[in-house]
Amino acid sequence: MTTSLIIATYNRPDALALVLMSLDAQTVMPHEIIIADDGSDDRTGAVVKQYQQQSRVPVKHVWHPDEGFRLSAIRNKAIAAATADYIIQIDGDVLMHRYFIEDHIRFAKPNSFVRASRIYLNEKLTNQKLLQRNAKISLMQEGVSNKTSALHVPWLWPVFATGYKNKGMERFEIHGCNMAFWRKDAVKVNGYNEDFVGWGYEDKEFVARLLAAGCEKRFIKLGAIVYHLHHAENSRQREPENAVILKETISLGQSYCANGIHQYLHHHASTHA
C-alpha cells in the first residue's frame, strides 16, 4: 500500500511550516506529500519550496487562484494529482503526533474510510508554538484540550473502530482535518462536491456518498492524533445553502455528485493506467 498525505492550506504559512516540522518527526513517512493550496500568496509558496528541497519524499504544490473558499475544488485537484493508493488528509493547521502516519497505515482496511480525532490548542499556546517555531506538544502543557483523547493507546483501537459514534446522524460526522480513505473509493463517488463553496459540510457530504457507495466508516480513537492550532472562525455565510445540499444527498441516498473530481482526472490518467 502506498500513501499520499494531502495538506489543505490557505494563507497561513507560519502554521504550515510547523505542520511540516511535525511531519519530519514521523516514525513513518508517506510516499508523497501534496500541498492543496486554495489560492495562497507567495509566502506559502516559499515555505513549500524550502521544504521540497529538504524532504525525504516527493512534495507537490497544487494551487489554484484565490476565488474565495473553494476547499472542495482544491482537495479534488490534490486527490487527482495523487499517485498513491491511500489518502491521508489533514489541514495545514494541525500538528501530527509522531506516530500519526504509521497509525493510519496500520489502521487502513479495504473498502473503508477513517475518522480520527483532533485535540485543540488554545490561542495562547498556539501563539507560543508559532513564535518559538516549536511543533512538539506535551499533554502536560496548559492550553491542550480533551487530553484523554490525546492518549496513544493502539491496543484499544478495536474497541472503538466500528460502533463508536456511528449511529443516526453521527454516521456522517467526520473531521476533514484528519481522515483517510482509498483514492479509488474517492474517484468512485466523484470526490468532493464542488457545489459546496464557503465553509461547511463538504466533508460530511463526501462521507454520506462513501457510505451510500458501500464503504464502511471506522473510527481510530486514541491513535492518529493531531493537535489543532487555534484560529479565528471562518465565515459561515454559506452554511444554510451547504446544509441543504448535505440534507438532499442523505435523503436521496446519493453515492455520486455531478460536480466533482472527474473533471481533473484526464490530466493524471497515465499515473493510474
Local confidence band at 7 (pLDDT 50, 70, 90 cut-offs): very high
Confidence (pLDDT) at 167: 82
Report whether pLDDT(271) > 60: no
> 39 with 64: CB under 8 angstroms?
yes
Confidence (pLDDT) at 268: 66
- Give the HSE-up count for residue 130: Cα atoms under 13 Å, Cβ half-sphere: 18
C-alpha cell at 13: 504559512
Local confidence band at 240 (pLDDT 50, 70, 90 cut-offs): confident
Of 125, 147, 102, 150, whose CA–CA distance to 18 is shortest? 125
Rounded mean pLDDT of the chain?
93
d(CA 216, CA 235): 32
- Give the HSE-up count for residue 123: Cα atoms under 13 Å, Cβ half-sphere: 3
Confidence (pLDDT) at 90: 98
Confidence (pLDDT) at 79: 98
Q: Where are the domains of the chain?
A: 3-272
Chain segment 115-167, per-residue pLDDT in tens: 998 999 999 999 999 999 999 998 888 999 888 899 999 999 999 999 887 88
* pTM of the complete model: 0.95
Q: What CATH code is assigned to 3-272?
A: 3.90.550.10
3-state SS of 132-197 is HCCCCCCCCCCCECCHHHHCCCHHHHHHHCCCCCCCHHHHHCCCCCEEEEEHHHHHHCCCCCCCCC
